[in-house]
C-alpha cells in the first residue's frame, strides 16, 4: 500500500476536462469588429491658441494642486470661457482624499444642447503637481477651451459636453466623480491626456480598473483617428500584459473608472499611460490631438450606439478569445487541484491520519496577514497616510511615511505568519498534509470566484505544493523552496509588470502599493482573497520545510514519484 495520499491516476484523469476546455477555447476565437470610417475634421483648430492658454495658466496660477485656491480660480476661468463661447457652463464641488489630504475639488461642465439628448463628452484634467508635473493639465485645458471655441459654430445631432475636472494627478478623482454624475445616455467619452508629452507607440488608453472592456468599434475608431492625426499607431499589449491587467486590474488615466459606471471611454494620450513632463511649446502636437478629438465627435455623431461594457476578451494574433472561454479553461485547470485535495483528505480520514495542524495553520497565517492589511487601511482612514481612493500618478508620489509603513508591513507580514504557523505546529500532532492540501484548494477556489484570471497566476504553485504534500515522499529543503519559487514565477511576473510598464522605481513601487491598500483601492474581498492564497502557500511551504529530512539524509537516493508508477 502506498504511503502517500496522492492517487496519480485520479490526478491525471482530472486534467482531461482541461484538454477539452483548451479545444473549446481554440474554436472560440473570433475576429474583432472593425472601427467606423472617420469623418473629415475641420481645419480651424489652433495649436497656437492652446499654447497661449497653457502659458497663461502656468504663469498666473503655478502648480494648481488639486483642491488648491489656484485650482479653484482656474475652474472659474474655464467656466467663464465656456460661457463666453456659448456653452451652458456650471461648476460643482465634492470632497475627496488626495495626495495632500482631504480637499474640496471642483468640476466644470459645459453643455451645448443638440436635437438629441444622447451625449458625446470630452474630458480634460486641469490640475498639476510640484516638480515635473507642474505644467500638467495646462495644455489639456487649452485643448478643451479651443474645442469650445471651434465647436460653437458647428451643428451636431448629439448634445455635446465639455468637462474640466480636478484630481487628475491624484488618480482621476474628478473624472470618476463625473462618471457617476453624467446624465445618460452617453455614446462616448474621450479624455485628452499627456497631449504634448513625448510620443509613445500607442496613443489610446483603453485599460480600466475592472475586467470590463468597452465597445471594440469605439476603441478601434479612436486608434485609427490617433494614427491619422498624431501619427503614432496604437500598439497591442502582450498576452502576459493582458493577463496581468485582467487578473490584477490597475490603470492610470481618467478613463479608468468609466466602464464600471456603464460608460464607453478612452484616453487620447500621445505620451502614454503615466503622466510625464509636458512640453507646452509643441503646438503641432496639441493641434493634432485637438483635431483627433474633433474627428471623433463628427464620426460618432451619426448612428453609432455603443454596446454596454462587458467582460474583456483576450487578444491573440488579431483574434479575440471570449472571457467565458478563458474562464472555462482556468476552471478546468483548477479541477485536478480540488479533486486531488478532497480525495487526499478522504484517504487521510480513512487511515486516521488527520491532524489539527493541517487545518489550523493556514487560517492562523491568514489572520496575521489580514491584520497587517487592516492596519494599512486604518492608517489611510485615519489620515496617517494621505492616500487617494484611485491609483495616483507615479511622478507625483512623495513622502517617507508610506515607504516606512510599507517596509514595516513587509517585515511584519511574513514574521507574523511564521509565528502563527509555528504556534499551531507546537500545539498539534505531526502530519496533517491533507489539511494543508485542502486549504490550497480552498484558496484557489476563492481566488477563482473573485477573479478567474488572477487564479491562473496561482495555479502552478498550488499544483506543485499539492503534489509535494500528498506524494508521500520527503523532499529536501532545497527542493521545497526551489519548487515553491518556480511555482511563484507567474505571480512574480505580475508583481513586476506594473513597475516596469509604468516606469516606477523600487521605492516608488513600495509607496504606490501602500497607497493602493491605504486608500481602499485594493478592496476588501480582493485583499482577503490575496491574503488567503498567500497564507495557504506560506503554511504549506513551511510544513514541507519542517518535514524535510535532516541535511545529513538529504543525499540519500530519492524515491520515485508516484506520478510515474
Q: Is residue 71 within a helix (H) or strand (E), and if so which, with residue range?
A: helix 69-84
Do 295 and 360 belong together in one domain? no
CA distance 321 to 326: 7
Q: Which three cell numbers stand for residue 49?
A: 491658441
Determine phi and psi for 119, rounding to 5 degrees.
Answer: -120, 145
Do 397 and 515 belong together in one domain? yes
How confident is the model over 249-272, as a mean pLDDT?
95
Count of H helices and E strands in the chain?
A: 18, 11
Helix (H, G, I), strand (E, B), or coil: what is residue 52?
helix
CA distance 87 to 246: 39
Do 132 and 87 belong together in one domain? yes
Q: Over pLDDT 90: what percentage of the chain?
A: 81
pLDDT tier for residue 431 given thresholds of 50, 70 and 90: confident
Beta bridge partners of 189: 121, 265
How confident is the model over 231-257, as a mean pLDDT?
88
Q: For position 436, what pLDDT does the model report? A: 95
Q: At what angle do helices 489-502 and 477-487 cross, to 10 degrees?
A: 50
- Give the CATH number for residue 192: 3.40.630.10
**Segment 494-523, tens digit of pLDDT:** 999 999 999 999 999 999 999 999 999 999
Determine phi and psi for 427, rounding to 5 degrees.
Answer: -95, 0
Q: Per-residue DSSP letters for 362-383?
A: HHHHHHHHHHHHHHHHHHHHHT
Do 134 and 224 belong together in one domain? yes
Do 116 and 228 belong together in one domain? yes
Do 459 and 373 belong together in one domain? yes
Is 558 part of a structural domain of the chain?
Answer: no
CA distance 231 to 418: 54
Determine phi and psi for 191, rounding to 5 degrees.
Answer: -100, 130
Q: For position 557, what pLDDT does the model report? A: 53
CA distance 541 to 382: 36
Check: CB of residue 541 under 8 Å from CB of residue 481: yes
How confident is the model over 197-206, as a mean pLDDT?
85
Do 266 and 360 belong together in one domain? no
Q: Of 266, 289, 316, which residue constitutes the final position of a domain? A: 316
Do 216 and 358 belong together in one domain? no
Please tell me the total count of domains within the chain.
2
Is 326 part of a structural domain of the chain?
Answer: no
Is 29 part of a structural domain of the chain?
Answer: no
Is 253 part of a structural domain of the chain?
Answer: yes
pLDDT tier for residue 565 given thresholds of 50, 70 and 90: very low
**Segment 139-194, tens digit of pLDDT:** 999 999 999 999 987 889 999 999 999 999 999 999 999 999 999 999 999 999 99
Q: For position 473, what pLDDT does the model report? A: 86
How confident is the model over 429-434, as a mean pLDDT?
81
By DSSP bridging, strand 204-205 and strand 319-321 are unpaired
Do 292 and 425 belong together in one domain? no
Do 69 and 176 belong together in one domain? yes
Q: Is residue 188 within a helix (H) or strand (E), and if so which, with residue range?
A: strand 186-192
Do 363 and 277 belong together in one domain? no
Is 488 part of a structural domain of the chain?
Answer: yes
CA distance 452 to 326: 9
Q: Which three cell numbers stand for residue 82?
A: 465656456
Is 336 part of a structural domain of the chain?
Answer: no
State the average pLDDT for the chain.
Answer: 91
Q: Which domain holds residue 477?
A: 353-548
Helix (H, G, I), strand (E, B), or coil: what is residue 125?
strand
Is 505 part of a structural domain of the chain?
Answer: yes
CB neighbour list of residue 136: distance below 8 Å, 6 or more residues apart? 125, 127, 128, 129, 168, 169, 275, 278
Beta bridge partners of 270: none
pLDDT tier for residue 563 given thresholds of 50, 70 and 90: very low
Check: CB of residue 459 under 8 Å from CB of residue 403: no
Stretch among 45-54, 138-147, 160-169, 555-564 having the lowest mean pLDDT = 555-564
CB neighbour list of residue 393: distance below 8 Å, 6 or more residues apart? 129, 133, 168, 169, 170, 171, 252, 274, 275
52 alpha carbon, distance to own chain's centre: 36
Task: Tell me the HSE value of 128 on the side-chain side, using a 13 A CA sphere.
Answer: 25
CA distance 396 to 417: 34
How confident is the model over 225-239, as a mean pLDDT?
80
pLDDT tier for residue 39 given thresholds of 50, 70 and 90: confident
Do 420 and 467 belong together in one domain? yes
Amino acid at each position: 500500500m502506498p504511503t502517500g495520499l496522492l492517487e496519480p491516476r485520479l490526478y491525471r484523469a482530472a486534467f482531461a476536462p482541461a484538454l477539452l476546455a483548451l479545444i473549446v477555447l481554440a474554436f472560440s476565437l473570433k475576429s474583432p469588429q472593425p472601427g467606423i470610417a472617420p469623418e473629415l475634421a475641420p481645419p480651424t483648430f489652433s495649436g497656437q491658441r492652446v499654447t497661449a492658454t497653457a502659458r497663461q495658466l502656468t504663469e498666473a496660477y503655478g502648480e494648481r494642486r488639486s483642491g488648491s485656491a489656484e485650482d479653484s480660480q482656474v475652474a472659474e476661468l474655464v467656466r467663464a470661457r465656456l460661457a463666453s463661447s456659448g456653452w451652458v457652463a456650471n461648476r460643482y464641488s465634492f470632497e475627496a482624499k488626495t495626495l495632500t489630504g482631504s480637499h474640496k475639488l471642483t468640476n466644470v461642465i459645459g453643455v451645448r444642447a443638440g436635437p438629441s439628448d444622447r451625449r458625446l463628452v470630452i474630458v480634460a484634467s486641469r490640475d498639476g503637481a510640484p516638480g515635473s508635473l507642474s505644467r500638467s493639465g495646462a495644455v489639456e485645458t487649452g485643448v478643451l477651451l479651443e474645442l469650445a471655441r471651434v465647436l460653437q459654430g458647428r451643428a451636431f445631432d448629439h448634445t455635446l459636453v465639455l468637462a474640466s475636472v480636478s484630481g487628475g494627478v491624484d488618480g482621476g478623482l474628478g473624472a470618476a466623480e463625473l462618471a457617476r454624475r453624467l446624465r445618460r445616455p452617453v455614446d462616448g467619452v474621450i479624455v485628452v491626456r499627456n497631449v504634448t508629452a513625448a510620443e509613445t507607440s500607442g496613443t489610446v488608453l483603453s485599460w480600466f480598473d475592472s475586467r470590463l472592456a468597452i465597445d471594440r468599434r469605439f476603441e478601434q475608431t479612436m486608434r485609427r483617428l490617433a494614427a491619422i492625426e498624431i501619427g503614432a499607431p496604437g500598439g497591442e499589449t502582450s498576452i502576459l500584459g493582458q493577463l496581468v491587467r485582467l487578473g490584477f486590474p490597475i490603470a492610470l488615466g481618467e478613463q479608468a473608472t468609466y466602464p464600471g459606471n456603464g460608460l464607453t471611454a478612452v484616453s487620447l494620450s500621445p505620451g502614454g499611460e503615466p503622466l510625464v513632463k509636458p512640453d507646452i511649446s509643441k503646438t503641432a502636437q496639441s493641434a493634432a490631438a485637438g483635431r483627433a478629438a474633433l474627428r471623433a465627435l463628427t464620426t460618432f455623431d451619426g448612428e453609432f450606439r455603443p454596446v454596454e461594457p462587458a467582460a474583456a476578451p483576450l487578444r491573440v494574433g488579431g483574434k479575440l478569445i471570449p472571457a467565458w472561454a478563458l474562464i472555462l479553461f482556468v476552471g478546468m485547470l483548477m479541477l485536478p487541484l480540488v479533486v486531488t485535495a478532497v480525495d487526499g483528505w478522504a484517504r487521510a480520514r480513512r487511515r486516521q491520519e488527520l491532524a489539527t495542524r493541517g487545518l489550523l495553520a493556514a487560517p492562523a497565517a491568514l489572520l496575521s496577514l489580514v491584520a497587517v492589511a487592516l492596519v494599512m487601511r486604518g492608517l489611510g482612514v485615519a489620515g496617517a497616510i494621505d492616500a487617494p481612493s484611485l491609483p495616483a500618478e507615479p511622478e507625483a508620489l512623495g513622502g517617507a511615511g508610506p515607504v516606512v509603513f510599507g517596509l514595516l508591513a513587509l517585515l511584519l507580514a511574513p514574521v507574523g505568519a511564521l509565528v502563527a504557523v509555528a504556534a499551531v505546529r507546537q500545539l498539534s500532532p505531526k502530519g496533517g498534509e491533507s489539511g494543508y492540501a485542502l486549504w490550497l484548494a480552498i484558496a484557489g477556489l476563492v481566488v477563482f470566484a473573485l477573479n478567474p484570471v488572477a487564479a491562473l497566476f496561482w495555479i502552478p504553485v498550488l499544483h506543485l505544493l499539492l503534489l509535494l504534500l500528498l506524494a508521500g515522499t520527503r523532499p529536501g529543503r532545497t527542493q521545497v523552496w526551489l519548487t515553491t519559487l518556480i511555482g511563484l514565477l507567474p505571480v512574480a511576473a505580475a508583481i513586476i509588470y506594473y513597475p516596469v510598464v509604468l516606469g516606477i522605481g523600487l521605492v516608488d513601487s513600495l509607496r504606490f502599493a501602500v497607497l493602493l491598500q491605504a486608500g481602499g483601492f485594493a478592496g476588501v474581498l480582493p485583499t482577503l482573497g490575496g491574503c488567503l492564497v498567500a497564507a495557504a502557500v506560506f503554511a504549506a511551504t513551511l510544513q514541507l520545510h519542517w518535514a524535510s529530512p535532516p541535511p545529513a539524509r538529504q543525499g540519500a537516493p530519492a524515491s520515485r514519484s508516484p506520478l510515474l508508477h
